């Protein structure tokens, strides 16, 4: 990492630690070793601690006096709160995008979704069309709404990567992404919002169901330590 100072460095450190949390290199409930992280990221303790405070505000970390910081545990309550906010924000974005999305963008989405169809049929679920969500926020044309969702985007990815490692939900997600696309293609704001909200509610229901079983790893993930 290039040596810089001030808020830029803090943001870089934040991004690096957040990425490690999301991809599982820093699993839920693991303790942050400041000395190791500072050496790994080639930074001093000051920007590292500033980054830790910011990530605690975002909910990725928990801090306790004289005990340092640890990665937050994934809980059903956290998932429900995050997905309730996601449903409200993305439902509004879909309503706006339905009347603002361009024909070239729709054409590109159609090609990308069709390209996924044979892969889904072959049980390759590495991509189920999540790019539809990104296009909704791009097309909605509301910068404030986009910034609000950025706060939650990392948490959504973190939760889904952890919980859906072993799940049949991904195949259903592709079909729901197709439905969202058809609503956008029709320019139907009511349908687009309803399709997105239904998709997110279905995803949350699956998350909460998985949280009750070992397959999701919620209970085992929450108890892991360095």
Which of 46, 72, 98 represents a domain boundary (last residue)? 72
Residue 80 inside a domain? The answer is: yes
| Same domain membership, residue 166 and residue 136 | yes
Q: 221: pLDDT confidence band, cut at 50, 70 and 90? A: very low
Task: Give the residue from 83, 84, 57 showing the smallest Cα distance to 72.
Answer: 57
- Which residues in 127-146 are b (16+ Cβ under 10 Å) and which e? ebbeebbebbbebbebeebe
| Same domain membership, residue 144 and residue 198 | yes
Q: What are phi and psi of 31, to 5 degrees?
A: -85, 135
Q: 165: pLDDT confidence band, cut at 50, 70 and 90? A: low
What CATH number does residue 179 fall under?
1.20.120.530
Residue 212 scores a pLDDT above 80 = no
Total domains present in the chain: 2
| Same domain membership, residue 112 and residue 13 | no
| Same domain membership, residue 93 and residue 44 | no
Residue 2 inside a domain? The answer is: no
H-assigned helices in 101-212: 103-121, 131-139, 143-163, 169-186, 189-211
Mean pLDDT calculated for residue range 46-63:
91
User: Which residue range is the domain that position 170 belongs to?
Assistant: 76-215
Note the pLDDT tens digit of each residue in 31-42.
Answer: 998 889 999 999
């Amino acid at each position: 990492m290039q040596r810089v100072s001030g808020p830029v460095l803090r943001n870089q450190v934040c991004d690096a630690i957040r990425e490690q949390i999301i991809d599982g290199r820093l699993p839920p409930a693991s303790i942050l070793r400041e000395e190791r992280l500072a050496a790994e990221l080639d930074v001093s303790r000051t920007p590292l601690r500033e980054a830790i405070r910011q990530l605690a505000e975002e909910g990725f970390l928990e801090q306790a006096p004289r005990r340092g910081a640890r990665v937050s545990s994934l809980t059903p309550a956290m998932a429900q709160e995050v997905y309730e906010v996601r449903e409200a924000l993305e439902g509004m974005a879909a309503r706006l995008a339905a009347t603002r999305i361009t024909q070239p963008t729709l054409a590109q989405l159609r090609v990308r979704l069709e390209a996924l169809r044979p892969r889904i049929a072959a049980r390759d679920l590495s991509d189920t069309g999540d790019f539809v969500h990104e296009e909704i926020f791009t097309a909605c044309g509301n910068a404030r709404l986009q910034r609000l969702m950025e706060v939650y985007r990392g948490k959504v990815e973190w939760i889904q990567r952890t919980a859906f490692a072993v799940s049949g939900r991904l195949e259903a997600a592709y079909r729901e992404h197709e439905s969202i696309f058809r609503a956008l293609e029709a320019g139907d704001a009511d349908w687009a919002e309803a399709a997105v909200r239904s998709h997110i509610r279905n995803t949350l229901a699956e998350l909460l169901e998985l949280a009750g079983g070992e397959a999701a790893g919620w209970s085992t993930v929450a108890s892991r330590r360095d």
